[in-house]
Amino acid sequence: MHTYKKIILTFFVLGSAISCTTSSIPQSPKLGQAMSPEELKKIDISIGPDGIGLPVGSGNAKLGAKVYQAKCLSCHGEKGQGKPVDALVGGIGSLSSNKPVRTVGSFWPHASTLFDYTRRAMPLQSPKSLTNNEVYAVSAYILFLNGIISEDYELSNQNLAQIKMPNHDGMIDFSKEKAVVYK
């Protein structure tokens, strides 16, 4: 009887020891490596509407026209009119009509998106190949063709976030809404 109790007790103590060990294993192994400032700089290329993170540099539409001729025209057409791919210019004031034309000029609410997307994704055959000054210049050219800035406006990290796009107030934020239900 005494031995029997001892065995039970041993099992009980062992059992709790095992379960204690299991529950104390971290579910969060913390295997990430702290990033160095150099690593951060290479990874962090996105630009939001506030312009934070824009690289130092500048460019105007006159220079941008040359970049456009060399790198963009074959897809986006003469002066951003489109064909074979998306038009970049025109349509301002058309959004509430029966034939809305959605381009960078008429539809894109923020100039930061133009810089960010061109730098990361364009030109299609060699994305990320334009220099920062080339991205400023070709962005200035698209904004100039849309009548948003003048031809000699020097677009830079200092002023890009202040450019007010024609459709700046055109978006209704649905991020806090559930799925749209049509009745």
The contact set with other proteins (CB under 8 A) reads 27-35, 39-40, 43-49, 75, 84-85, 95-96, 98-100, 102, 104, 107-110, 112-113, 116-117, 120-121, 124, 127-128, 170-175, 177-183
- Per the omega criterion (within 30 degrees of 0), is the bond before 84 cis? yes
User: Nearest 5 degrees, angle CA 130-CA 146-CA 151?
Assistant: 70
The residue (of 56 and 172) whose beta carbon lies closer to other proteins is 172
Minimum CB separation of residue 54 from other proteins in Å reads 13
Amino acid type, 49: P
The residue (of 3 and 24) whose beta carbon lies closer to other proteins is 24
Minimum CB separation of residue 11 from other proteins in Å reads 28
Minimum CB separation of residue 32 from other proteins in Å reads 3
Minimum CB separation of residue 169 from other proteins in Å reads 9
Q: Rounded to whole angstroms, what are the CA distances from 126 to 16, 83, 87, 166? A: 61, 19, 20, 30
Q: Which residues contact 97 (CB under 8 A, 6 or more apart)?
A: none
